[in-house]
Amino acid sequence: MTIEALHIKNVRHFPEINISFNSGFNFITGPNGCGKTSLLATIAHCLAWNPAYSRFKEGSEYWVDIKQSGKQFRFGMGPGWFLSSSYRNNEIKSWNAPTSESGRESFIPNAVDKILSLPPLFIGAQRKINYKQIQGLSREQDAEHSKQLYILDSLSQIYSESEREVKQWLINRYFIIEKEWAWEEKKNWKHLEQSLSKIGPFNSNFNYVRIGRDLEPVFSLYGKECYLEELSSGFQAILFIIIAIFEWVESCLPEGERDVQKASGTVLIDELDNHLHPEWQFTVRDGIEKLFPNIQFIITTHSPHLLSSAKENEIIMLPGSYPEERYDFSPSEDAYSGWSTDMILKELMGVRSLDNKRYEKLVHTCFDNIVKNDLNALKESFAKLEAICHPGDSVLVVLKARIAGMEAKKDD
């Protein structure tokens, strides 16, 4: 299952927006307030009617195009559904299915759980695992009930207003994986154990160790054991995402189709780079892809490092504002792996303040002094530059050569 496209008109601060998505990774980026989280929220609105969370207007329409096993569907609300709204309290005039398209069946939101075998999973920007004492095994919902819960919970998950039971899932696996009927869960658990050490940053040695009599999961990190809640924020954030995906696959799909390496569906993550060191931001995309090779990801980010890990057709850039009536977005055909972080910040993400950096100013002053042939001023600005930049900076090497050249000329 993949999300192919999203259409929004007059929802939240958006005019008309049409976005097409890649069936693998999609990184949505743009300035604060441009609407990244709002895009995820609108996709969630397409799947279940929820009067809270968004302001709709006269003329609001929104739908998402989904492909599942070769069949194409459209879910959302077509033109003319809207009646009135006070803050967080929208009312429906009539349930209008989206405008249809040939070869694609259109449905209002509430039909989603009957049609999709795995509804999209939404993971909000807050991914802290708070301490909670687990009493024992808890009964897991059947697939149909789980699917409904995932759909209804989508918006509260984006805004981190409902809890995810990471620890309970771990304890449940501890109790069930040796049972004959839990062969798929056992296979997934082995995949999880083997993958953890590979997904962490270089040398971190992140591993699951055990669950003891006290029902407290223990991990190891940089050679030392620690409890689940003691893991640092970055490891908690990644573990939270990984376990959320395992839990979603195992609880929504029917028996015989629960292998996470084969499961196909869409995971939407707000601000994947939260809490991750730049080195991990560079590698997390590939780590997630290895763990879940058939899952589509729609990810929002502010990280130039994460963007530089994107392949061709994976980056969707949003502008800061929408003065026109209509915008069409699709993933950029380019990849940026050969670009420096500064180049991505400046050229791709539109960060202007880099020009004001002291480094840039001093480099300009040095070159101005070369043009003016003022050796003393050049030496002075060079000393200031040398004090603040990396010793191996290639500009320093060039400037040193120019100073030597000017000194030799002066001596002549």
Ligand X SMILES: Nc1ncnc2c1ncn2[C@@H]1O[C@H](COP(=O)(O)OP(=O)(O)OP(=O)(O)O)[C@@H](O)[C@H]1O
- Residues near Mg ion (CB under 5 A) are 36-37
Q: How far apart are CA 261 and CA 241, in angstroms?
A: 15
- DSSP H or E segment with residue 217: strand 217-221
Q: How far is CA 236 from CA 107, 130, 140, 205, 379, in A?
A: 38, 10, 23, 15, 49
Please select the residue that binds ligand X; options are 2, 29, 37, 157, rule is CB under 6 A: 37
| Nearest residue to 48 (alpha-carbon basis) of 107, 3, 123 | 107
Q: With respect to ligand X, which residue has the nearer C-beta, 195 or 301?
A: 301
Please report how close the Cβ of residue 36 comes to ligand X at its closest, in angstroms: 4
Burial class of residue 309 in the structure, from the number of CB atoms within 10 Å of its CB (0-12 exposed, 13-18 middle, 19+ buried) = buried
The most distant pair of C-alpha atoms in the chain lies apart, rounded to whole Å, by 90
Which residues have CB under 8 Å from 352's CB, separation 6+?
Answer: 346
Identify what 86 binds: ligand X, Mg ion, none; CB under 5 to 8 Å per kind. Answer: none
Please report how close the Cβ of residue 8 comes to ligand X at its closest, in angstroms: 11
**Could you tell me which stretch among 34-42, 75-83, 280-288, 340-348 binds ligand X (CB under 6 A)?**
34-42
Instruction: Please check whether residue 279 is in contact with residue 7, taking contact to mean a CB–CB distance below 8 angstroms.
Output: no
Residue 53 engages ligand X in binding (rule: CB under 6 A): yes
Please select the residue that binds ligand X; options are 29, 38, 188, 309, rule is CB under 6 A: 38
Residue 57 engages ligand X in binding (rule: CB under 6 A): no
Identify what 57 binds: ligand X, Mg ion, none; CB under 5 to 8 Å per kind. Answer: none
Q: With respect to Mg ion, which residue has the nearer C-beta, 68 or 160?
A: 160
Q: How far is CA 254 from CA 65, 134, 137, 250, 259, in A?
A: 24, 26, 21, 8, 10
Please report how close the Cβ of residue 85 comes to ligand X at its closest, in angstroms: 10
Q: With respect to ligand X, which residue has the nearer C-beta, 197 or 321?
A: 321
To 5 degrees, how large is the angle CA 29–CA 35–CA 40? 85
**Could you tell me which stretch among 49-57, 153-161, 213-221, 283-291 binds ligand X (CB under 6 A)?**
49-57
Q: With respect to ligand X, which residue has the nearer C-beta, 12 or 74?
A: 12
Binding site for ligand X (CB under 6 A): 12-13, 32-38, 53-55
